[in-house]
Amino acid sequence: MGSALAYHLAYSAEQADFAAVSDQNPQVAQALAERFGVAEVCPDYHDLLAQDDIDAVVIVTPTNAHVEVVKAAAAAGKHIFVEKPLALTLQDCDAAIEAVRQAGVKMQVGFMRRFDPAYTAAKEKIDQGVIGQSVMFRSNSRDPWRTSVEYARRESSGGLIADMGIHDFDLARWLMGSEVSRVYSEGGCLVFLELAEVGDIDNAVISLQFENSAVGTVDVSRNAIYGYDIRTEIIGSEGSLMIGGLQHTPLLVMHKNAITHDAIPGFMQRFETAYAAEIRAFVEMIASGGEPAVTGEDARAATAISIAATRSLDEGRPVMLEEILS
């Protein structure tokens, strides 16, 4: 992910100069610097933050290190782009948000689906009232591969629901225009049994109740062997919207009694345009003095839903969001 965002910072954000790169692995940092023509490599990110001519940073660390780096960047007076999720706990989300507020800098969180052309168009249609009142949200996030066992540990990624479902939880709030009030999760380790050894699962379904009485479902899976599958449907009182599909290349191969097409291989192919757009939006926000499109508060709300959904899975009961937020 760091390499992907570095690419878009180098080639999509015309208003920014890509000044320095930092990574704990010096070979990785050097390779990125050479690939994108970056003049400076900083093995210690604090050295990067100490440079007065750097205005902003893009933070792509493991999730459990986000807050540490956000706080340091804010203290150094840098504007911040940080990958999702902002943090795994509300306490850490609050610490990051407060550090940014006290420093007077801007922070954008990397929920890139909001910048995908299809999702952006859907949001515009909803706001225009094209489908009437939105009453049901359905979304799925399915990976064609298993993540590493080490990353699957909850202390690293938050587990399946937090790691994958958080995008859908953010979309749910954004597209439905309402906060989630209650969740109920069902899931299990059904294919990759080794994930159970670190307390994770590979498939889950989460039911959502919204404060405005709308309903929804999210399903997440690590074994969509047919391809990367991200789709969302909004059912309204006067119509529906369907976002996403399975076909990557607009080509159908037709034989007798069979028509086939390819599938989307991975998230970089599906959301390349969105990753570029979110980095451009971040840079343009800094240049114009505007406000971030996805705030720390947005990230905190999505984290709260993921915490509630994970608690529901663990305890086998519906969980009210007020239990998490109180």
Give me the residues of the chain with pLDDT under 50, please.
none
Q: Kindly list the domain boundaries of the chain, sorted by start residue.
A: 2-111, 113-270+293-325
Which pTM was predicted?
Answer: 0.95
pLDDT score at 14: 87
What does the pLDDT look like over 121-151, one tens digit per residue?
999 999 999 999 999 999 999 999 999 999 9
Contacts of residues 97-105 at CB distance under 8 Å and 24 or more positions apart, as own/partner, are 97/296, 97/297, 97/300, 99/70, 99/71, 99/74, 99/75, 100/70, 100/74, 100/296, 102/74, 103/74, 103/75, 103/77, 105/73, 105/74, 105/77, 105/78, 105/79, 105/80
Q: How do strand 258-260 and strand 79-83 relate by DSSP bridges? A: unpaired
pLDDT score at 179: 98
State the CB neighbour count (10 A cutoff) for residue 9: 23
pLDDT score at 62: 87
Name the CATH topology of 113-270+293-325.
Dihydrodipicolinate Reductase; domain 2 (3.30.360)
Closest CA to 106 of 133, 142, 77, 147: 77
Q: Which CATH class is domain 2-111?
A: alpha beta
